[in-house]
C-alpha cells in the first residue's frame, strides 16, 4: 500500500467538523469539504485503503 494513500485515508478518517471549519471562511465551505471527504472514503476503501 503506498504510504501517501494510506496517510490520506487516515487523515480522512480522523478529520472532524472542527478540522474543516477551522480552515475555511464559512459553514457552507466546511460542509462542502466534509461531503467530499465522505465521497473519497469509500473510493479509497474500494482500492484497499480503508483504515481501521
* Domain that includes residue 19, residue range: 3-46
Asked if pLDDT for residue 3 goes beyond 70, the answer is yes
In a domain? residue 52: no
Instruction: Establish if 51 belongs to a structural domain.
Output: no
Report if residue 41 sits inside a domain. yes
In a domain, 29, yes or no: yes
Q: Tell me what pLDDT residue 30 has.
A: 96
Q: Is residue 28 part of a domain?
A: yes
What rounded mean pLDDT belongs to the chain?
91
pTM above 0.85, yes or no: no
pLDDT(50) > 90: no
Predicted confidence at residue 1, as pLDDT, reads 62
pLDDT tens digits, one per residue of 12-32 = 999 999 999 999 999 999 999
Burial of 33 by CB count in 10 Å (0-12 exposed, 13-18 middle, 19+ buried)?
Answer: middle
Domain annotation covers residue 14 = yes
Query: Which residue matches cell numbers 472532524?
Result: 16
pLDDT for the residue 20: 95
Amino acid at each position: 500500500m503506498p504510504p501517501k494513500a494510506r496517510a490520506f485515508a487516515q487523515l480522512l478518517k480522523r478529520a472532524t467538523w472542527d478540522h474543516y471549519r477551522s480552515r475555511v471562511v464559512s459553514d457552507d465551505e466546511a460542509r462542502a469539504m466534509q461531503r467530499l471527504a465522505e465521497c473519497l472514503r469509500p473510493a479509497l476503501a474500494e482500492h484497499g485503503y480503508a483504515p481501521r
